[in-house]
Amino acid sequence: MTDGIELSPTEWVRQQTEQILKQGSTDGVQILDRPVILVTTTGAKSGKRRYVPLMRVEKDGRYAMVASKGGAPAHPSWYFNVKANPAVTVQDGDKVLSLTAREVEGTEREQWWRLAVEAFPPYGDYQTKTARQIPVFVLE
C-alpha cells in the first residue's frame, strides 16, 4: 500500500502505478506508446482507495474511463467501485483533479467511444472480443 491506497495485484499495472508515483507525474508512462492517466477510486465493498492507470481519453477538461478489460467477458473490478463510489481523482501529468464519474449511454456514449478508439485503437478490437457493450464513464 502507498499512502493508504492499495496498488493492483497485477504486476504490470502495479509497476506502472509505482513509476507514476515515483516520478510524481504520468508524463512518459504509456501503454503501447499511448499516454495514461492515474485514477484513484474507492472500493465498493472494502472502502479502500485504489489506483487505476488507464488510457488518456480527454476532451475539454473531461476524461473517459473505458471499462474494456482487454475485451474480457466481465467488467474490470474497478467498474463496480466507480458505480458505487463515483467520486474519483485523476492525475494527468502532474495535475490532480477531483471529478465525478457517470456512465454514459446512447449518443453520448458513442461520441466518447469514438474519442476513446482514436486515443487507443485497440479498444475497437476489444469490443469485437466480447458480447458485452464495453462501458464508458465520463469524469467531470
Q: For the chain (length 140 residues), average pLDDT per consecutive 10? A: 74 90 93 92 94 96 97 95 98 97 98 97 96 97
Amino acid 1: pLDDT: 45
Nearest 5°: the CA angle 115, 88, 47 is 135
Contact yes or no for 101/86 (Cβ under 8 A):
yes
Amino acid 2: pLDDT: 58
Closest CA to 31 of 128, 127, 119, 129: 119
How many of the other CB atoms lie within 10 Å of CB of 83? 16
Please report, for the chain, the start and end positions of each structural domain, with discontinuous segments joined by +.
5-139
Cell numbers linked to 101: 464519474
CA distance 78 to 76: 5
What pTM, to 2 d.p., does this model score? 0.92
In words, the CATH class of domain 5-139 is mainly beta
Q: Could you read off the pLDDT of 68-93 as tens digits, one per residue? A: 999 999 999 999 999 999 999 999 99
